[in-house]
Amino acid sequence: MRAARPRYRAPSPNLAPIVNRRAGAVPVGAETGLATIRELVAEPVPAPAGVVRGMVTERPMLDAYAAHLLTLVPLAGIRPLKVVVDAGNGMAGLTVPVVLAHPALTVVPMYFELDGTFPNHEANPIDPANLVDLTERVVAEGADLGLAFDGDADRCFVVDERGRPVDPSALTALIAVRELSRHPGATILHNLITSRSVPEIVSAHGGVPVRTQVGHSFIKATMAETGAVFGGEHSGHFYFADFWNADSGMLAALHVLAALGGSPAGTTLSSLVGRYEVYVASGEVNSKVSDAPGAIARVRATFEGRPGVSLDFLDGMTVAGPGWWFNVRPSNTEPLVRLNVEAPTGDEMAQLRDEVLGLIRA
């Protein structure tokens, strides 16, 4: 049996005391501590007696941050690459110039000015409308790839040399394979609406795939429980044990650059990730409904009991058949039912998608 991996590992001696004091930390929410903290903050705080005032020390962190990331994903020896980066007027505009200051990289900046009004487009790369500027610039520049970050740069979306967005499931599989080369037999997490190809590829490379609910609090908790080295979500969140089980869009971007830059000359990003794109997905399709439980019940009644079909309820309802699956789940904040479908071919996916949408919207 493979020995259990430590849940937290200090990346450097200087950070070891901090990491050790936080060992066993878990995400918190309103029902697990935040509500209590809110109540305590609202109460008056008595002035401390006999306490000596401390000192404020300023310490620049950006160079140390960049150096640490590059110890986790070195770029030494990569071939020259031209990369367009859309920072969306968010934090990547501050960090990219330092992290990607590598002689082999030619960075074409877009919207690097920090501006919380987001004057060019919303800093949310999961919406295709917010990738239009990047895709056009990648093609115009003849770049090898494009990177798009959200406002705080914890998410990263990638555009290939043709200006086409890369499926986050393909990126999850690519990074998983790289992590398994460093940690053979390790556990890799994927949420339940990533492609079926992810657990298949993880298993084929000797890893242990573990399926989770959608959402960072679930995947972070599961990483701590299982000792997973990496986890990926369809939303562009990628989680790393070496980064305190947190998500980092910059680390994901470095993995893509290292993989492409370490490939033979002439290799394109589309050909590199194409090996991980096995199935055809619908993307998330939202339907506004007045009765979400009723809509999901209609879908269940139609598919339950069909030969070769299974149902599970880890997060909403997932229905799986020979070579295909779909998930329906209600939104927690809006009167919506979210549908994700995957099948071996585009025609099969479209037929299944339309059948389920007909039931949801009936």
Is 70's pLDDT higher than 60? yes
Tokens of 213: 């609910």
- What is the residue-averaged pLDDT of the chain? 91
Lowest-confidence region among 110-114, 174-178, 220-224: 220-224
Residues 298 and 348 in one domain: yes
Same domain membership, residue 183 and residue 111: no
Given this model, what pLDDT does residue 22 score?
Answer: 53
Instruction: Establish if 115 belongs to a structural domain.
Output: yes
Helices 168-182/249-261 angle, 10° precision: 80
Same-domain check for residues 174 and 131: no
Of 141, 159, 177, the residue that ends a domain is 159
Pick the last residue of a domain from 247, 269, 295: 247
Would you say residue 19 lies in a domain? Answer: no
Q: Domains in the chain: how many in total?
A: 3
Among the listed residues 233, 251, 236, 239, the one whose alpha carbon sits nearest the alpha carbon of residue 126 = 236
CA pair distance 167, 148, nearest whole angstrom: 13
- CATH number of the domain that residue 127 is part of: 3.40.120.10
**pLDDT surpassing 90 at residue 49:** no
The CATH number of whichever domain residue 309 belongs to comes to: 3.30.310.50
**210-268 pLDDT per residue, tens:** 999 988 888 888 999 999 999 999 889 999 999 999 999 999 999 999 999 999 999 99
Task: Please check whether residues 204 and 154 belong to one and the same domain.
Answer: no
Residue 86 falls within a domain, yes or no? yes
Same domain, yes or no, for 228 and 151? no
Do 204 and 288 lie in a common domain?
Answer: no
Is the sign of the CA dihedral 73, 76, 81, 87 positive or negative?
positive
Q: Give pLDDT, residue 21.
A: 46
pTM of the model: 0.83
87 falls within a domain:
yes
pLDDT tens digits, one per residue of 6-26: 443 434 444 444 344 455 667
Q: How far is CA 193 from CA 50, 233, 325, 349, 359, in A?
A: 56, 8, 9, 14, 20
Instruction: Answer whether residue 50 is part of any domain.
Output: no
CA-based R_g, the chain, Å: 22
Tell me the C-alpha distance between 16 and 190, whole Å. Answer: 28
- Residues of the domain holding 307: 280-360
CA distance 188 to 230: 5
116 CB burial (10 A radius; 0-12, 13-18, 19+): exposed
In-domain check, residue 45: no
User: Last residue of a domain, which of 198, 228, 247?
Assistant: 247
* 147/182 same-domain check: no
Residues 80 and 148 in one domain: yes
Same-domain pairing of 204 and 224: yes
Tell me what percent of the residues of the chain surpass a pLDDT of 90: 79
Q: What angle do CA 295, 301, 307 make, to 5 degrees?
A: 135
Place 42 in a pLDDT band, splitting at 50, 70 and 90: confident
